[in-house]
Amino acid sequence: MQRGIAALEFALLALFVMLPVSLGVFVFWEVLQTQQVVTRATGDGARQVSRLLNVPRVPKANGSLPSEQEFRASAAALVTDSVRASLRSHLGQGSTLDSRVTVALVPFDANHWALDVAYARPALLGGAAGLNFIEPASIKARSVIQTQ
């Protein structure tokens, strides 16, 4: 009789204490890993922007220099592709990753630019029945780039 009660107590303990703690540790680990990947991709993109901003602009075919808007658009497109490629190689979500990543290159002040990356991560535990209250919906990172 005592063995049956001990088994029942263990099953209840495992169900209501050990399982949520294990799930919490797994979710925390995955979120921390994803944050590191997003931060690294943002840093890689910022280094690329820094190289682009601190190099003389290449003249267009007609000999004129690209305008600030054209240069910013081309730099933003190049950096967006770079950040997405970096995230895709580490997170491995294929084409669905592109819809989950937002990359913005904006002027921060007179001598700085900011590269903001936001990643809308899928829920590990699912969003049904209110289980998603412990997981962040998005992960963000910012790098500030100084121009000369």
Encode pLDDT of 61-89 as tens digits.
787 877 777 777 888 888 888 898 888 88
**Residue 108 or 93, more confident:** 108
CA trace torsion 3, 9, 15, 20 (10° rounding):
-130
Does the pLDDT value for residue 103 go beyond 70? yes
Q: How confident is the model at residue 52 (pLDDT cuts 50, 70, 90)?
A: confident
Mean pLDDT over 123-131 rounds to: 64
How far is the C-alpha of 59 from the C-alpha of 39, rounded, in Å?
A: 33
**Residue 127 or 16, more confident:** 16
Report the first-to-last Cα separation within the chain, whole angstroms: 79
